[in-house]
A = this chain, B = another copy of it.
Amino acid sequence: MFETKIVPRVGETDITGHITHTVMPGWFESGRYEIFKLFVPDMDFKKFNLIMAHLEFDFLKEVVPNGDVTIRSRFGKIGRSSCEILQELWQHDQRCVTSRAVLVSFDYETRKSQPIPDEIREKLKPYTGKPSG
């Protein structure tokens, strides 16, 4: 499991006084930083060959502006050419948001999905399971 700390900003609140859901994709993307590193170790964004096919959030509890946030990230199912990333947002010892993303390994030249190479697949295995499990 990977853990990423996020410090909420004033500009990320909304009129309700809580954190607006519109910032969540950015926060959860920060949480996938170490995951992307497994695919592209030098983090050259131009080499990214993962396309987001699906993204979902369940909002269980409001995220408040006061109090650091931790994003926990793990892999779910790892398929031939796609993988599932399961993430949770924790604040004040409570799970506030869960997210599931499906990313597809993609060859930008042929414009087709491509298998996840075996050597990368091996690197992902230690990080599978439930984020909070």
Interface positions of A (Cβ within 8 A of B)? 7, 9-17, 20-26, 29-30, 33, 36, 42-46, 48, 51-59, 65-66
Contact = CB atoms under 8 A, between A and B. Distances in A.
Given A54-B57, A55-B56, A22 B26 contact: yes
Q: How many copies does the complex hold?
A: 4
A11 B33 contact: no
Contacts of A52: 21, 59
A31 B43 CA distance: 24
Contacts of A15: 10, 13-15, 17, 45-46, 48, 65
A64 B132 CA distance: 33
A15 B43 CA distance: 13
